[in-house]
Each structure stands twice: as structure tokens, then as C-alpha cells.
Amino acid sequence: MAAAKTLVLVTGATSGIGFELAAQLLAKDTYHVLLGARSPEKGLAAVETLRARNLPGTVEMLHLDVTSDATIEAAAQYVQQTHGHLDILVNNAAVSAMTHPSLREQMRAAFDANATGPAVVTSIFGPLLQQSTAASRRIINVTSGAGSIERRLDPASLIYQVQQVQYRASKTALHMVSACQLVEYQPLGIRVFLYDPGFTQSNLGPHNTEANGARAVADSVSPLMAVLEGERDGEKEGILHNTGRYPW
């Protein structure tokens, strides 16, 4: 009998890092990917694109807007009824929120998607993670070094001149969300990681281009795969990135 595939939910998998993570997971026959999408149309198109590649893994679209409790609850109910558990949760969805008209709107949008979203998604999917019997079960919160307070205050940081307070502060809040998850889930045998992919080509903002020095998305995602596959399980908790770790 074939071994059951590892069930992975990736939020915000219609573009950029989330989509590439789905693709790298599907390149193996050991994963079933729940491709999280706030827009079902985009989600179905992403699934179609991946299926057309004839990769050995399997994928299905999961309608999930991390700012909508109704879609998160409906998604968890579907996973409960269809799969009965979840092995790996990747909280990847986020927004830069740089184009909202006021600072209040920018802060509200960034915190809702980037910090409140992962907190609520994890809380609602937590029981499904607890029903997993996989040794690999884990929560990975995709973050940014831009949310490290110590790095913010370091004039040598490459992005010292970049303010983007809404994005930075929402990722700092995600770091505390992760610390709280660590205290809650580690004793249950569920590992919790923060991972920073680094400056990457994606739809996050207009600056995320090759011309501006952003890395190819495949290069940012292969080290994330290593975290997902347990290659960095021996490291102390904190903010991991491709070549090491950042201070909180």
C-alpha cells in the first residue's frame, strides 16, 4: 500500500513564494497541497497551471482569505471532512499595504493580513494539526527580516532607509504571534518556525523585481523547503533565513 501523502496547506499560494512553494512540493510524490487562495478564480487558475506540469504530487484549491473568519472556518471544516487532519501549515499570505490612502488604513490592512491572519488561521486549524500523526507536523510563518527590531535599528542594514512601518510592524507582531504559538504547540509535538525568504521577485510590491536585485523565487523557496522537510529542526527557535538567522 502506498504511504499517505503529507498534507500541506499554503496560504496565499496564487502568486510569488506561495505558488512556487506549491510547485516545489508537487515536484515530489510525497505531498498533497491545499493551495490557499483568497480569490477562488485565481486559485483554480493556479491549480490548473500546476496540474498542466504533470508533477508527481497532488493539489487542490482551498478558498481561504486570511482576513475573513467565515472563509477560514469553512476551509477548516472542509479539510476536517475531507482529510480529517493537517500535517503542515504554512502561513505565507501577506500584503505590503503600501498603496492604502492613509497610514491608519495601511496599518489596519497590514496587521489584518500579516499578523491577525496567521494567528486566526493557526487557531482554527490547530485542532487539525493536533489530529495529524506525522512526525513532520509543523507551522511555518513566512516573515521578513524587516520585522526584526534589532535589524531596524542597525544603520548597516541594507533596508535602513526603507520605512514601510505598516509592513515592518505587522511582521514584528507576527513574531510575537509565533512566540505564543511556540509556547502553545511545541509541547504538543508541533514545531513552529519563522522563515524569511529574503528579497525576492514577486507581486508583493513594485520594487520586487530582478532589476532591483530581487532573487529568483525558486532560489528563495528551496531553503524554505529545507525548513519544511526538517533539515533545520535542530536549530534554536527564532527567525530563520536562507543562510542563517536574524535576531527577534
Ligand X SMILES: NC(=O)c1ccc[n+]([C@@H]2O[C@H](COP(=O)([O-])OP(=O)(O)OC[C@H]3O[C@@H](n4cnc5c(N)ncnc54)[C@H](OP(=O)(O)O)[C@@H]3O)[C@@H](O)[C@H]2O)c1
Q: Does 83 bind ligand X (CB under 6 A)?
A: no
Nearest approach, Cβ of residue 238 and ligand X (Å): 16
Torsion sign, CA atoms 117, 121, 123, 126: negative
Torsion sign, CA atoms 175, 23, 138, 130: positive
CB 13 within 8 A of CB 35: yes
Whether 28 is a known active-site residue: answer no
Q: Does 202 bind ligand X (CB under 6 A)?
A: yes
Choose the binding region for ligand X from 60-68, 77-85, 148-156, 176-184 (rule: CB under 6 A): 60-68
Q: Does 18 bind ligand X (CB under 6 A)?
A: yes
Q: What's the CA gap between 92 and 113, in Å, rounded?
A: 10
Please pick, from the candidates 24, 35, 38, 224, the single residue that binds ligand X as defined by CB under 6 A.
38
Indicate the residue among 22 and 129 with the shorter CB distance to ligand X.
22
Cβ neighbours of 98 (radius 10 Å)? 15
CB 20 within 8 A of CB 217: yes
* Distance separating the N- and C-terminal Cα atoms of the chain: 45
Q: Looking at residues 135 to 174 of the shown chain, list those that interact with ligand X (rule: CB under 6 A).
A: 142, 144
Indicate the residue among 17 and 240 with the shorter CB distance to ligand X.
17
Cα–Cα distances (Å) from 88 to 33, 55, 82, 102, 104, in that order, read: 10, 20, 16, 36, 34
Q: Does 88 bind ligand X (CB under 6 A)?
A: no
Choose the binding region for ligand X from 98-106, 131-139, 185-193, 201-209 (rule: CB under 6 A): 201-209
Q: What's the CA gap between 236 and 179, in Å, rounded?
A: 12
Active-site positions read 167, 171
Question: Applying CB under 6 A, which residues contact ligand X?
Answer: 11-12, 14-18, 38-39, 42, 65-67, 92-95, 113, 142, 144, 196-200, 202-204, 208, 214
